[in-house]
Structure 1
Amino acid sequence: MSKHEFFFKIATTADEFEQIHRLNYQTFSEEIPQHEKNEEQKLVDPFHAENTYIICIKENEVIGMTAIRDNRPFSLDRKIGPVEQSLSFPVHSPCEVRLLSVKKEYRNGQVFLGLAQFLIKYCLKKGYDIAFISGTVRQLKLYGQLGFQPFAHLTGTNEALFQPMYLTKKTFDESIAGRILPKTIPFLPGPVQISDKVINALRMIPISHRSDQYKEKIAKVKDVLAKLVNSKYVHIFLGSGTLANDVVAGQLSLETGRGLILANGEFGSRLVEQANRFGLQFDVLQKDWGQAFSRDEIVSKISNTTGWIWAVHSETSSGILNNLELLKEIASNHQLKLCLDCISSLGAIEVDLDGVFLATGVSGKAIRALTGLSFVFHHHEVQPSSPKYLDLGTYMAKDSIPYSHSSNLLEALLAALEDINRETFEKVVETHTYLKDQLKKFGHTIISEENSSPMILTIEIPGVISSAVIGNILYNHGYQLHYESDYLQRRNWIQIACIDHYDKADLERMTNLLNRVITYEQTTIQQALVNGK
């Protein structure tokens, strides 16, 4: 059976629950005589209302399942007493796994394995530290391969004997199922997968930020960063991209004239908020998310009092890439100071900051170092002003070391920067192009397709489906897409970042699964609406 033929999910529809009751009956009334047979050939679990069901779907058929609940007492508590009393170690956040069942024709191990792998990811995300189960003695070898460990005495009858067992992350990791579980592949704009080279650099013995060795190191990092984007100066801050943008806002508060902020997504709107907090005087050119700014629209908002423009280069929230050359040309023609949020574009695509007054970036995201450092790029001399911690002039006067700094984060950043080159940018574009072609082939709607940033793709999920449901299914299969942000869930969008290093086979498996899940969810929900369920 091909891996693309089936997938795993949390049961949500009436039809899925109906199939669960029938599979429950087939297994625990007909095959294992634990419950009486009945004419309906359905068995509704007494804890059904409390259960969360993980199911395996082949086409539109439920071929395997298991149930999870965390309400006490567990069914196992009622058989052996409180389960904790039979263990030699403490339990903090337990759950009970029941009704593990796979249709006979699919018991080749693959479905059981998939259920176990989905289960462990689900439990970890929910914060459970141990799962208990009553395993039929007929399948003890299988349970052992999945990582379950026996404890306490047998329960049940001679016709249906059960062994109390438990599963932890440790027992799963040491099992056959755990050893062959692929690592989760992140398709996030940040954090990204960190290379061994970067991790090893992070582990170096810390050095004082006042030492000559540290001063040499930070000077080297600044030189690499400045050359990467064609900037004369760059200063490194201990903090996130929001801090760097606050530094820019602080500098703009010293400028005369009004500003113009361009906002066509979440992060453009955040620039507006930050500018308001600093009391800046400015106008806003607001566009719908994912819509590009035209030359005429921008120029129409410029007046004889306009002194600066502030915009996001790569607007992560919608996946649009705002036209940098157009912005630089307009700023030059109207003698305006151009400021840019390059937090998502830095390290993903070529960025030339010639002609840009101030720009920001971060150590995480496409640079693929550790989150925690941010940058402000500029070409002009800056004098100290206030407030002190956000003052670019103070950093310039102190060669980027006015206060305590982290040598470990700096070492990791340098290691990551050494691996950024033209091939890095080409790989991002190649990944983006492949994913876009695959998703278009499947008929999915891509936001900002004409002006798409190579670092991320944004997919519009059909309205009858929850983007969070799709994202959770993909996560529990080992693919971490970007879907948990409030601004994405409000629009029912899912995003796939392209800034990591991916094997083409992983991209193919992920897109096939994504399409399979969306198609199934859309079909089942629409059918339920037709049937009035």
Structure 2
Amino acid sequence: MTYLYKIADTSAEFEQIHALNYRTFVEEIPQHERNDSHRLVDKFHDENTYLICKKDDQLIGMIAIRSKRPFSLDGKIGSVENQLPMQVDNPVEIRLLAIEPDYRNGRAFLGLTQALVQYCLKAGYDAALISGTVREQKLYRQLGFQPFAQLTGTADAAFQPMYLTKATFEAGIAGRISKPPVNFLPGPATIADEVREAMMATPFSHRSSAYAGLLKRVKNRLTALTGAKDVQLLQGTGTLANDVVAAQLSTIGGKGLILVNGEFGSRLTDHANRFGMAFDTMETEWGGTFDDKEIEEALRSGKYSWVWTIHCETSTGVLNDLDLLKKYCSQAETVLAVDCISTIGTVPVDLTAIDYASGVSGKGLLSYSGLSFVFHNGEVAKNDALPRYLDLGTYAEAGGIPYTQSSNLLSALEVALRKFEQSEEVYAHIAKRALRVRAVAEQAGFIIVAPHQAASPTISTLCMPEGFSAVRLGDYLFLNGFNVHYESVYLRERNWLQISCMNDIADKEFERMLQVLRSLAPACLAQPILGK
């Protein structure tokens, strides 16, 4: 059974809210007078945001969220800040917590509370306040609510002011059995227990023989995985690795060619501009692929000393043809550099005949962010004209350890790399899931930006139908326990949402996400809700 958590936004949902409100706070708890319509419209209805739980089309639970002051609780006990046992900066009032009786001891109630916590954290609230009926105090406490101040209401309908914070939720029974959101992001990665254990080990010196041995093993695993002759590890992100690649290309001279078909191709031009490099760009629309003949003719012209491109254009999910680029650059004797940040660990990557390639630890390799790599197939000499931290030759000359390095990050990466001893199985599993995402998304009315023949399994970019909001869809998936990628500026500008299949996710959770995606597809209209 799959429950769906969302913000109420249809007339049918609001009618069910008024009916449940009546059954709960008129018929069950005699707080209001009976009426012939059997509907109870809350006095703050126009100011409420309703977080609801649905089973199929039936509303089975709700919470009304209201941030406008004064709270109804302020009018009953005075300013709530003066009554709370701790300082809060941005509280929100929770009212009308109601669950159909048959679902009060099940997953629906727990899931509604989890969705509430997710909503509040995302919106920036640090405490949720409620007047909880004294009849359900045990249940409220299990969910993490804590009492404060005096009782309110009447003898027949008495209420206890209570508060919920992230800390009290996590300390309660519900918080202890709840799970973090399932990770469908393209980074940071979901960290396996054994990788986390390696990260938490006692650090040791980067000048020790133990560290040198560890680095050698990691480099051997990375080169075996990619076919590159050598690799240097850097303490930093993929941006650092691409700066190091830019530094190397800047020493070649002549003019370069940068291929751009998305956000990250554009960022390569920024790297090159900052080094004052001469280059042309070959651009196509976002989600498009390059014209093979145009690339071949450009390189045959002899105008270009180097080519720089993205393997997987992460902003769109397009996988550019690396084999073709290698062929054309080899024929033209042109240096080839490739950003492989989103492909290493997610698809087979062959870096033979590629001069420079960048990668990172915190994406497809499923380790912690903080290490990046530059692969190279030729000898690299130290160059005193380059900044010390960006000089690849300095790393090579020092055996890969020119400066302080983290044994914890390197140890975690070594453990993560063991998974890729069966890399073909890893890639096949990712590809299978990506095809499943594509099929379900297209059936639900979304468009996958990358054409099928050029789509990377690393990430699927969903284009919304007209009138649908990617932000609202992402928010609703988050309320249901799934983290997807939709908040980057370039995605918001295009009303796109991304689902990554690179993380280890239980089949049950994967299928539940797809089921929720299908259920939400017709509901994600209008403007974003969370954080409004």
Fold conserved (TM > 0.5)?
A: yes
Superimposed CA distance per residue, residues 181-226 of structure 1 (whole angstroms, 9 cap, x where no aligned partner): 2331101111111011111111122222222322222222222212
When structure 1 is superposed on structure 2, of 244-253 and 203-212 the one drifting more is 203-212
Matched, 1:461 2:464: yes
Tell me which residue corresponds to 2:504.
Answer: 501
Tell me which residue corresponds to 1:381.
Answer: 379
Following superposition of structure 1 onto structure 2, how do residues 447-486 of structure 1 map, counting pairs within 5 Å?
A: 447-448=449-450, 449-486=452-489
Tell me which residue corresponds to 2:530.
Answer: none
Q: Secondary structure at the match of 1:189?
A: coil
Superimposed CA distance per residue, residues 159-200 of structure 1 (whole angstroms, 9 cap, x where no aligned partner): 321122222334323434334323311011111110111111
Following superposition of structure 1 onto structure 2, how do residues 96-495 of structure 1 map, counting pairs within 5 Å?
A: 96-103=93-100, 109-302=106-299, 303-385=301-383, 386-421=386-421, 422=423, 423-448=425-450, 449-495=452-498
Question: Do the aligned partners of 2:205 and 2:407 also contact (CA within 8 Å) in 1?
Answer: yes
When structure 1 is superposed on structure 2, of 201-210 and 58-67 the one drifting more is 58-67
Distance 1:49 1:300, change over 3 A: farther
CA distance in 2, matches of 1:443, 1:69: 33
Shift, 1:58, TM fit: 4.3
| Residue type at the aligned position of 2:409 | L
Shift, 1:105, TM fit: 6.6
| Residue type at the aligned position of 1:277 | R
Tell me which residue corresponds to 1:66.
Answer: 63
| Residue type at the aligned position of 1:96 | E
Superimposed CA distance per residue, residues 318-337 of structure 1 (whole angstroms, 9 cap, x where no aligned partner): 11111111111111111111
Distance 1:103 1:286, change over 3 A: same
| Residue type at the aligned position of 1:495 | Q
| Residue type at the aligned position of 1:98 | R
Superimposed CA distance per residue, residues 3-25 of structure 1 (whole angstroms, 9 cap, x where no aligned partner): 2xx41112345654455445434
Q: 1:79 aligns with which of 72, 76, 79?
A: 76
CA distance in 2, matches of 1:279, 1:12: 52
| Residue type at the aligned position of 2:500 | A
When structure 1 is superposed on structure 2, of 385-394 and 510-519 the one drifting more is 385-394
| Residue type at the aligned position of 2:468 | I
Superimposed CA distance per residue, residues 335-370 of structure 1 (whole angstroms, 9 cap, x where no aligned partner): 111110000101112211111011100011011111
CA distance in 2, matches of 1:409, 1:19: 52
Distance 1:277 1:17, change over 3 A: farther
Superimposed CA distance per residue, residues 131-177 of structure 1 (whole angstroms, 9 cap, x where no aligned partner): 22111223333323323233332211123211222223343234343
Question: Do the aligned partners of 1:53 and 1:65 also contact (CA within 8 Å) in 2?
Answer: yes
Shift, 1:473, TM fit: 0.7
When structure 1 is superposed on structure 2, of 154-163 and 339-348 the one drifting more is 154-163
| Residue type at the aligned position of 1:266 | E
Question: Do the aligned partners of 1:435 and 1:507 also contact (CA within 8 Å) in 2?
Answer: no
CA distance in 2, matches of 1:356, 1:161: 73
Question: Do the aligned partners of 2:103 and 2:109 also contact (CA within 8 Å) in 1?
Answer: no
Q: 1:519 aligns with which of 514, 517, 522?
A: 522
How many residues of Structure 1 are paired with residues of Structure 2 in the alignment? 521
| Residue type at the aligned position of 2:381 | Q
CA distance in 2, matches of 1:176, 1:479: 21
| Residue type at the aligned position of 1:430 | K
Question: Do the aligned partners of 2:255 and 2:279 also contact (CA within 8 Å) in 1?
Answer: yes
State TM-score, norm by structure 1.
Answer: 0.91
Distance 1:209 1:106, change over 3 A: closer
CA distance in 2, matches of 1:266, 1:312: 10
Distance 1:232 1:270, change over 3 A: same
Q: Secondary structure at the match of 1:304?
A: coil
Q: Secondary structure at the match of 1:418?
A: helix
Question: Do the aligned partners of 1:347 and 1:366 also contact (CA within 8 Å) in 2?
Answer: yes
When structure 1 is superposed on structure 2, of 7-16 and 451-460 the one drifting more is 7-16
Q: Secondary structure at the match of 1:261?
A: strand
| Residue type at the aligned position of 2:447 | T
Tell me which residue corresponds to 1:10.
Answer: 7
Q: Secondary structure at the match of 1:367?
A: coil
| Residue type at the aligned position of 1:492 | N
Q: Secondary structure at the match of 1:53?
A: strand
| Residue type at the aligned position of 1:467 | A
CA distance in 2, matches of 1:403, 1:136: 61
CA distance in 2, matches of 1:460, 1:87: 45
Q: Secondary structure at the match of 1:162?
A: strand
When structure 1 is superposed on structure 2, of 136-145 and 457-466 the one drifting more is 136-145
State TM-score, norm by structure 2.
Answer: 0.91
CA distance in 1, matches of 2:302, 2:428: 41
CA distance in 2, matches of 1:482, 1:41: 42
Superimposed CA distance per residue, residues 93-152 of structure 1 (whole angstroms, 9 cap, x where no aligned partner): 432211112355765644333321211111222333332211122333332332323333
| Residue type at the aligned position of 2:152 | T
| Residue type at the aligned position of 1:258 | K
CA distance in 2, matches of 1:437, 1:16: 29
| Residue type at the aligned position of 2:435 | T
Superimposed CA distance per residue, residues 462-495 of structure 1 (whole angstroms, 9 cap, x where no aligned partner): 1211101111111111111111111112222211
Tell me which residue corresponds to 1:530.
Answer: none
Shift, 1:77, TM fit: 2.5
Question: Do the aligned partners of 1:316 and 1:456 also contact (CA within 8 Å) in 2?
Answer: yes
Question: Do the aligned partners of 2:94 and 2:129 also contact (CA within 8 Å) in 1?
Answer: yes
Q: Secondary structure at the match of 2:420?
A: coil
Question: Do the aligned partners of 1:240 and 1:372 also contact (CA within 8 Å) in 2?
Answer: yes
CA distance in 1, matches of 2:54, 2:464: 20
RMSD: 2.4
Gaps in structure 2 of 5+ consecutive residues = 527-532
